A and B are shown apart, each in its own frame.
Chain A
């Protein structure tokens, strides 16, 4: 493999501060740029969620929240969380940081393209945030952006907001494509000596498969975005049939609103797994390291990731059971959806069986991993209700759906992300965070999130619809629902506040935290065995590491320590090899 280069010369070592930290081509700096940008825009989404909760918990008390900006909050919150926070953070952030270090490469295969990927992503975020300030404000069409609604006057942001949103998504997809090609190519081409595919840590597998999926799924959203812009400004009718808006015919003719939904969900469902698979991979590594035990059934875990990735392209219309598409599709999509539950369940079993007979260190990353297991089991199971066609009929578009997807693709990946940040922080910064603050952050976030999203399932069962600014006078909704909403909002307030513990901890420790051990958790995977902590540009000093084993040699009988680094030669590897 040509790309295995001990030689450092191809790397352009930057000479200025700007070259090092701004126009950087170092995957680790780009990772941090991605992460900081994603978290910043994520804070905006968090604030928006709290504003929504204020309206739902205390309807009418906050005069500045009106139906139009409520819907704008819903839309921006949802889209930012899914695309600009989670996708960007897990792939652009963790993908960038971990792939080269975990496979033993000096950098991504195309460092310049990698840098461009970040700057184009930043542009997409700027366009998105700019849409808050255009006439009419951002779009309020829901994060699903279904036409014809999104481009008609009855919806906020129908003139400028929707175009900015679609443009921003298109730009994001360009950025993602540059990053995604890099991640895939680096995994395929730049692994170091001995790093076979089946020796890669699960984190790399999750990110790798998610990147391939992104490359296949995002184009569907891209064309949907372009076609919507054309329908809106150029008078085409891809998605708009003959309709009346504000009492007048719009001049559109013959388009199909359902076509958009197919395109959207052909992207949208794999997107769920684009977020989930990296989280699956990362959490496997957290559990294994902190339980001092190999991940149980590694090969099965890898195959489950690949199978889930492939199957997830065949289930998209489970979001459309009551959309008016041919109802007979329901049989197919319900079956494919429930089949996907099998490899997913296997992953859960194997995580639990990794804990079983382990030596579990309840460090903060492990706490988050455990919390993930709990919320993911909950969210995964509630998904079976929605996948099971006829059961979805009463539940679709109610708060049950809100409760379900927050549990499974909101809370669960976020818990993994927190765990992962605590886990790799000492490697990334060379310093350790404060344990007390971290534990407080954990408990409030975990219990608070469950208190927010568990009751939502129940008021959804009752029939409370989503995307409702106010419930008004409704016969079937008892007063107790208003108390539930109040309680949820209060829990959300605690969770919101607890995030300041996290930010304080991260920022304070960056400057004042104690110096961290290069491998504080005793982990076996390569990234913990760099010559420098934090790793220098080029990662590996003069010579690339050689890999002799998989990433999970923990508590191997007869070994002197309870882990064997991936780059440690086996005892019989060479003459003069003496065990320490």
Chain B
């Protein structure tokens, strides 16, 4: 008896909690409205199922609770009802899956005009690289990493010379321009996560991963690491500043290029190209 009332109250309570709790998705700041839509479709279909099923249960418990003279109905199965329920469940599932898959198709289809920006993770900080005027990132590998070349850019790769290197935790992106975030890790798994962008993806050592998005709101947002990466996981923070193209260009022009790094090293008499291992797969040479 109490449990029937309890279940009904929990349903009502859950709805009220949903409506009045201050916690919900952050205001979106990217093009991924389609993810939010898929989430909302899923939410509404699930909410209906949650309410109907639980209220039915509460009613049945109350209505068919044991009382003198109450006898249970004997009915081993009801194939027609079971078939109908299966069918309607299938319809509900398809209605959720469709917007989900459509959004995923967009998620994995990077637009041709997307700018490329690389984020690198390392216990427990972020670094970023822009391809420079040629629009191509220089080849990079963990095997090339040393004190003078923290990004591990192949010093012999001409595409690398104009790459712009950001060793602070601050990433800048131009407003309204699609960007393909290319992700690399030097050590363990990490995950590039900005709640307002909705998008996220793991950084995996040994391979290059990616996702794309278009920032749609100017401002600065937290970058979090969303894949456990050791004791400093919760402190692996960064900031992304989304700004007008002109401000972005001004900021970018002030940053160091890899060419400058090479020149500086050479001025000290260090030729990175000599220190670098010849070619794959002799990655061990640096050890």
Contacts and interface: CB of A to CB of B under 8 A. Distances in A.
Interface of A: 67-68, 71, 140-142, 146, 148-149, 152, 154-156, 240-245, 248-249, 251, 253-258, 291-294, 296-300, 322-324, 327-328, 330-331, 334-335, 338-339, 341-342, 345-346, 348-350, 352-353, 355-362, 367, 370-371, 373-374, 377-378, 381-382, 384-385, 388-391, 393-394, 396-398, 447, 450, 454-455, 458-459, 461-463, 465, 467-472, 474-476, 478, 480-481, 484, 552, 554-557, 562
A388 B42 contact: yes
Interface residues of B, number: 107
18 contacts: A71-B231, A149-B229, A156-B231, A241-B207, A298-B76, A300-B77, A324-B202, A331-B104, A334-B97, A335-B97, A346-B85, A381-B49, A388-B100, A391-B103, A393-B198, A462-B24, A475-B222, A478-B22
A494 B108 CA distance: 45
A468 B225 CA distance: 10
Given A244-B186, A251-B287, A359-B64, A555 B204 contact: no
Interface in B209-236: 209, 220-222, 224-235
Contact of B24 (A450, A458, A470, A552): A458
B129 to A, nearest CB: 17
A359 B193 CA distance: 52
A550 B244 CA distance: 73
A146 B187 CA distance: 12
B72 A149 contact: no
A296 B85 CA distance: 13
A572 to B, nearest CB: 19
Interface string B37-77: 01100110010011001101100110011100011111111
B72 A292 contact: yes
Interface of B: 1, 3, 6-7, 10, 14, 17-18, 21-26, 32, 34-35, 38-39, 42-43, 46, 49-50, 53-54, 56-57, 60-61, 64-66, 70-78, 81-82, 85-86, 89-90, 93, 96-97, 100-101, 103-105, 107-108, 122-124, 141-143, 145, 183, 185-189, 191, 193, 195-196, 198-207, 209, 220-222, 224-235, 237, 281, 283-284, 286-287
A322 B202 contact: yes
Contacts of A367: 3
A297 B78 contact: yes
Nearest to A299: B77
A552 B76 CA distance: 9
A362 B60 CA distance: 12
Contact of B64 (A357, A461, A562): A357
A142 B108 CA distance: 28
Contact of A397 (B70, B78, B193, B221): B193
A469 B234 contact: yes
Contacts, number: 341
B100 A334 contact: yes
Given A140-B231, A249-B287, A469-B234, A342 B86 contact: yes
B169 to A, nearest CB: 13
Contacts of B17: 454-455, 458
Contact of A554 (B72, B122, B187, B220): B72
A198 B200 CA distance: 47
Contacts of A154: 123-124, 187-188, 229-232
B66 A384 contact: no
A471 B221 CA distance: 15
B74 A253 contact: no
Contacts of A475: 220-222
A327 B108 contact: yes
Contacts of B74: 293-294, 554-557
A198 B92 CA distance: 31
A484 B240 CA distance: 27
A565 B33 CA distance: 58
A378 B50 contact: yes
Contacts of B82: 297, 300, 346, 349-350
A342 B26 contact: no
Given A253-B284, A356-B64, A334 B101 contact: yes
